[in-house]
Amino acid sequence: MGVYYPRSSDPAGAGFSGPISTAGPSEFDVVKTRELEQFLADSGLYESKEEAIRREEVLGRLNEIIKIWVKDVCGAKGYSEQLVEGANAKIFTFGSYRLGVHDSGADIDTLCVGPRYVARKEDFFGKLYTMLAEMPEVQELHPVPDAHVPVMKFKLNCISIDLLYAKVDLWLIPEELDILQESILHNVDEQTVLSLNGCRVTDQILRLVPDIQNFRTTLRVIRYWAKKRGVYSNVIGFLGGINWALLVARICQLYPNALPSFLVSRFFKIFKQWRWPNPIMLCPIQGRPAWDDRKNSRYGQNVMPIITPAYPCLNSSYNVSTSTLRVMTEEFQRGHDICEAMEANEAIWMTLFEPFLFFEAYKNYLQIDIAAQNDDDLRKWKGWVESRLRLLTLNIERGTNGILQCHPHPDEFSDKSRPLCYCFYMGLRRNQGVNAQEVEQFDMTSTVEEFKRSVCAHDSWKPTMLIHLCHVRRRNIPHFVFPRGLRPTQPVKEVVGSQVVTNARKRKLDKVDEGFGSKKTLCLPSGNSNVSFTGQTH
């Protein structure tokens, strides 16, 4: 995270500047936007009225639970009857639900704002957790107190909830509390600032975009595209919902009178040529900076800074690595190519959303297997290991001096024949800018061992929580990772305009891998929980 300042004035490098064009839509834009909206509806991206009502009911029930909990905490700490009577906490929503772009079945990001005497560790992750665990309407309760932004995950009447907690410096929480006022940040800890930031940023985005409906439609498109192409995941080093929302909001500002079809096209055109690490900002930074990234780099590399518009202005994309930025830049280029093909009537909207064929794209993969003794332990173990995968990516980059690049898959996989196990995958390839003859061996022994030590150092780790890393060649990828468990018999083709390609990255990969000589090896440590591998990397 960090505070940033614009470094240039051109559209491909400026953090903040005025509109590029204020022109209205053409007839072509109107037609293409109508087609796009129909595609979104046909793809089931809008929830039904019945589901919308269920979500409102669940939020109402959560609000009731929170108010009972805070009164119980107040009474248990011996405060006066008057304070107990007025004890209150308030639920706010943020993320896709608050922005109005949530999919059917999506979770609801929520924030509980509580008074100064209600502690995060003792009361939120203690007493509230116990209350929720005893309720039959609550399922899959999973606290993550050590996350960068501590969160309680659960299902309430089958609706997924992510609940954050912010302890503010107030004895009484009014129902009309305005969390956009800067006074809410006085005398609070860093975790409260981060927890509040989601709501504050979401509300600021809605204030700063010129047309909320066009913004929402465009954001639905980009979110759907990012999920299909495998680049929607903040936790493993790509971008999450708020990051994509900030990028889309910036495009809406640059073209304030444009329709969604044009905004999607310009989204790819602008970001395929953006000169990172020049930051993306929706407004000039106001007031005193929270901190300067030149003096504080503990939050990450800041290779793709996307700055939040609410004070304190932070880099929301600190998880992005050199490898994951490379993947996203290639996807921006692909999106631009398809939009240009659509303008020439050589492609349709469906082409943009064709899934990325991850297990066809690389010749070498790193497989991370995890296992636990029961469902509850496995859920906790999976969440923790997944949150650490971005560090494995960074350490592989550093351990090989940037020669080896990683492409983490955003999802986990499970084999029905092996219960209580999950697998994660990373595609591996040599940096295209490195001469293959310069390196004789990729030795990841120390990197893998350090990763294992770091994940097993977690307070909740148990000896029955296992982790195993190994190298896998493309031809040996297990069948269960493929749809319906069926490995494709022939490479699947994508069509971009009149050109047929295997996929956005695979058209370059074989040439990249041809540079590896027969002596090039990948080495992983051997031992009780690892396998050793030494073999050709082409």
Which residues have a Cβ under 8 Å from the Cβ of 297 and sit 6 or more positions away?
2
Whether 301 and 321 have beta carbons less than 8 Å apart is answered as yes
| Tokens standing for residue 477 | 């990828």
Taking residue 360's Cβ as centre, other Cβ atoms within 10 Å add up to: 18
For residue 368, the SS3 value is strand
- Report the DSSP pairing between strands 364-371 and 494-496: unpaired
Determine whether the annotation assigns residue 232 to a binding site: yes
Determine whether the annotation assigns residue 107 to a binding site: yes
Number of residues that this document lists for the chain: 538
Whether 112 and 123 have beta carbons less than 8 Å apart is answered as no
Q: Can you tell me the distance from the alpha carbon of 536 to that of 177, in angstroms, rounded to the nearest whole number?
A: 61
Q: Can you tell me the distance from the alpha carbon of 398 to that of 522, in angstroms, rounded to the nearest whole number?
A: 15
Whether 477 and 325 have beta carbons less than 8 Å apart is answered as no
Q: Which of 371, 375, 388, 348 is nearest to 464 (CA)?
A: 371
Determine whether the annotation assigns residue 109 to a binding site: yes
> In terms of C-beta density within 10 A (0-12 exposed, 13-18 middle, 19 or more buried), how is residue 485 classed?
exposed
The owner of tokens 């500047």 is 17
Q: Can you tell me the distance from the alpha carbon of 364 to that of 425, in angstroms, rounded to the nearest whole number?
A: 10
Q: What is the 3-state secondary structure (H, E, C) of 411-479?
A: CCECCCCCCCEEEEEEEEEECCCCCHHHCCEEECHHHHHHHHHHHHCCCCCCCCCEEEEEEEEHHHCCH
Q: Can you tell me the distance from the alpha carbon of 306 to that of 315, in angstroms, rounded to the nearest whole number?
A: 5
Determine whether the annotation assigns residue 108 to a binding site: yes
Determine whether the annotation assigns residue 285 to a binding site: no
What amino acid occupies position 421?
C
Bridge partners, 315 (sequence order): 307
Q: What does residue 424 show for φ and ψ, rounded to 5 degrees?
A: -115, 155
The sign one gets for the Cα dihedral 168, 173, 177, 183 is: negative
Bridge partners, 406 (sequence order): 428
End-to-end Cα spacing for the chain: 37
| Tokens standing for residue 148 | 């960068």
Structure letter (DSSP) for residue 285: P
The owner of tokens 């493929």 is 482
| Tokens standing for residue 505 | 């990255």
Q: Can you tell me the distance from the alpha carbon of 68 to that of 439, in angstroms, rounded to the nearest whole number?
A: 63
Q: Which parts are annotated binding residues for Mg(2+)?
A: 107, 109, 162
Binding residues for ATP: 94-96, 107-109, 162, 232
Indicate the annotated binding residues. 94-96, 107-109, 162, 232
